[in-house]
Amino acid sequence: MCGILGIVSRSPNSDKGWLKNGLTSILHRGPDDLGQWISPDGRVGLAHRRLSIVDLSMAGHQPMHDPENGLVIVFNGEIYNFQHLRHELSQKGYMFRSQSDTEVLLKAYTEWGTDCLTKLNGMFVFALYDPRNEVLFLARDRAGEKPLFLYQSEEELRFGSELKALLSDTALPRQLDQESMDVYLTMGYIPGDKCILKGFAKLMAAHAMIFDISSGKSRTWRYWQLPESPEKTSYTAGKEELLWELNNLLGDSVKRQLVADVPVGVLLSGGLDSSIITSYAVQASPRVKTFHLTREWMKENMHG
C-alpha cells in the first residue's frame, strides 16, 4: 500500500507546508520512499508515500513525471495487467524508462485519455495532473479497495488517502457531520461518498473525477458498473462448464496478483476463502509463503 496527497487550486497557494506534515501522518502507508512536487505556477501540489512492490529502483519514484508532455502522477495500488498494457503501448511506439506500472498509467492516459480506465485491471487510486488541458484527473478502482478523501471549495480541491492527512492543514474545518455519524452508529461504516466530517467526501468506487483548474468546476462520473444478471432462461451452460469457467477465472485472478518484485505471502485465516486463494497461488508460484496467527500467539503479543 502507498499513500497519496495533494492540492490543486485556481490561484497560486504559497502555504503547502501541510503537505509535508500530511506525508508524516501516513508514514505507515509507505516507508520505502517519499516525494513531493509543486508546479512552477504554484497551483498544484502532489505528494506520495511509497511501499515498493513493482520496480524497486528509484525509477519508480513518485510523483512521477512524463517529460514528453509534462504529465505528473501520484498513484496508490497495483495494475495487475500492466505488462500486457506496456506491450500494447510499446507496439504503438511508446518508450519506457522504468519497469513500473505507474509509468504504464502515464502512457495509457497519453494514448487513451480518461478512457484508459476501461483497460485497467487492478486495485488503485491515482491523481494525474495534465498541464496541457489544465485539469486534474482522479480515479478509484472498481471495487473501491483503495480509498480517496476529498475536500472541495470554490477555489480548490484537496485529496488524500486518509482523512488525517488532509487534516494536517489546521485551517480546514473540523465539524462533525451528524447524518454520517448516525449512519456509522447504525451500520458500522459510512457508505457512498459521505464522510464523518462536514465539507469532506469520498470518491466512490468505480468513479472518476476531473477538476478544471481554470474554472474551479469539477465533473464526476461512474466509469464501470456490474453487468446485469442474465435471466435464468438464458443459461445454456451446464454445471460442469460453469465450474470450469469459475476455476479459470479464479486461477487467472490470483495469478495476476502474484506479480511483484518482492516476496509474496498469504495470511491464512483458517477459513475456506484464504485456503482456496492459497491453493491457486501455489499452483501459479510454488514458493508462496503462508502465515497464520494462533490465538495463543495473539494473547501473548497483542496488548491493549
**Three-class SS state of 154:** coil
Specify whether 210 is located in the same domain as 251: no
Specify whether 282 is located in the same domain as 163: no
Q: Catalytic site residues?
A: 2
- Residue 179 predicted with pLDDT over 90: yes
Specify whether 268 is located in the same domain as 214: no
Asked whether residue 51 is domain-assigned, the answer is yes
Specify whether 212 is located in the same domain as 247: no
In order of 20, 25, 124, 170, 177, the CA distances from 174 in angstroms are 20, 17, 28, 9, 9
Question: What residue type is 267 in one-letter code?
Answer: L
- Residue 270 predicted with pLDDT over 80: no
Specify whether 122 is located in the same domain as 265: no
Specify whether 62 is located in the same domain as 202: yes
Asked whether residue 132 is domain-assigned, the answer is yes
Question: Which of 198, 222, 246 delimits the end of a domain?
Answer: 222
Tens digit of each residue's pLDDT (9 = 90 or more) over 132-155 = 999 999 999 999 999 999 999 888
Question: Which of 191, 222, 253 delimits the end of a domain?
Answer: 222
* CATH assignment of the domain containing 207: 3.60.20.10
Q: What is the DSSP letter of 155?
A: S
Rounded Cα distance, 300 and 205, in Å:
38
Specify whether 212 is located in the same domain as 241: no
Specify whether 294 is located in the same domain as 162: no
- Residue 237 predicted with pLDDT over 80: no
Asked whether residue 227 is domain-assigned, the answer is no
Asked whether residue 231 is domain-assigned, the answer is no
Asked whether residue 89 is domain-assigned, the answer is yes
Average pLDDT over residues 18-34: 93
Domain count, the chain: 2
Specify whether 258 is located in the same domain as 153: no
Structural domain boundaries enclosing 176: 3-222
In order of 119, 198, 208, the CA distances from 116 in angstroms are 5, 32, 11
**Three-class SS state of 65:** strand
Asked whether residue 76 is domain-assigned, the answer is yes
Tens digit of each residue's pLDDT (9 = 90 or more) over 50-107 = 999 888 889 999 999 999 999 999 999 999 999 999 999 999 999 999 999 999 999 9
Rounded Cα distance, 73 and 173, in Å:
27
Specify whether 69 is located in the same domain as 184: yes
Tens digit of each residue's pLDDT (9 = 90 or more) over 192-214 = 999 999 999 999 999 999 999 99
